[in-house]
């Protein structure tokens, strides 16, 4: 029996690693209106870091908050400064000419893809991932955390409250069939596929019970 307890002491922490690193482990970055940009000119961009897409971060030290830009050759990161309103930040940004993929650096949350910024030009905001929109739609109404100054609303679009996020479909770009006289890869099409999260509480229970059964079997064999 002592050996079983020792084995469980190793197995349980390993199972815990499969769970999200922290409870409530996702957020998204929503921009205030972004002006038409010019190369090498300084702009102050406002943005909101929304835990669960609806409220300010709840917890201890969040870590670094910033805006990051990548053009395929270089990466530029501009730190965010907290403003008076909860979850509201500003970053002073200056970019050379080019097309930049824009991400929100969200402390210990995963970075969030905001969209593509053309310099000179405008920000093309990426759609909120369907998985996130489904989770936002499933949330119960919460208190209003802001006054007159508030974040833009996060569009939830064509999702239905009550559907588990793991069953939500996410657009995925896949190669289309080549047109006549063309070659594969000339065009792309959007396919909707079902994305399932591998983590389930039932998986953890099954794995734990399996570990206990194996430990018990090993113990009996060893006694014989």
Q: pLDDT per residue over 56-71, tens digit each? A: 999 999 999 999 999 9
What crossing angle do the helices spanning 2-17 and 201-223 adopt, rounded to 10°? 160
Which residue(s) pair with 125 in the sheet? 115
Q: What is the pTM of this model?
A: 0.65
- The radius of gyration of the chain from alpha carbons, rounded to an integer in Å, stands at 23
Supply the mean pLDDT for the chain.
76
Compute the distance between CA of residue 130 and CA of residue 137 in angstroms, rounded to an integer: 10
Q: What confidence tens digit (pLDDT) does each residue in 144-201 have?
A: 898 999 999 888 877 777 777 765 444 433 344 444 444 443 333 233 333 333 333 4
Compute the distance between CA of residue 83 and CA of residue 104 in angstroms, rounded to an integer: 16
Which residue(s) pair with 95 in the sheet? none
Q: What confidence tens digit (pLDDT) does each residue in 118-136 have?
A: 999 999 999 999 999 999 9
Residue 168 to residues 81, 138, 158, 164, 175: CA-CA distances in angstroms? Answer: 35, 12, 11, 7, 22
């Amino acid at each position: 029996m002592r050996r079983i307890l020792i084995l469980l002491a190793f197995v349980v922490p390993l199972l815990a690693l499969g769970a999200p690193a922290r409870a409530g482990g996702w957020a998204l970055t929503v921009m205030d209106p972004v002006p038409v940009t010019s190369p090498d000119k300084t702009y102050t961009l406002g943005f909101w870091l929304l835990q669960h897409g609806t409220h300010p971060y709840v917890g201890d030290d969040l870590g670094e908050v910033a805006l990051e830009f990548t053009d395929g050759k270089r990466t530029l990161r501009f730190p965010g400064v907290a403003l008076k309103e909860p979850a509201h930040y500003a970053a002073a940004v200056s970019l050379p000419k080019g097309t930049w993929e824009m991400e929100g650096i969200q402390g210990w949350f995963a970075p969030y893809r905001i969209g593509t910024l053309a310099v000179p030009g405008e920000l093309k905001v990426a759609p909120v991932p369907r998985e996130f929109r489904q989770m936002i739609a499933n949330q119960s109404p919460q208190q209003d955390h802001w006054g007159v100054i508030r974040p833009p609303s996060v569009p939830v679009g064509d999702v239905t409250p009550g559907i588990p996020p793991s069953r939500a479909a996410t657009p995925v770009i896949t190669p289309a069939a080549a047109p006549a006289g063309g070659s594969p890869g000339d065009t792309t099409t959007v396919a909707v596929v079902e994305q399932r999260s591998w983590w389930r509480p039932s998986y953890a229970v099954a794995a734990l019970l399996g570990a206990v059964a194996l430990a018990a079997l090993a113990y009996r064999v060893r006694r014989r």
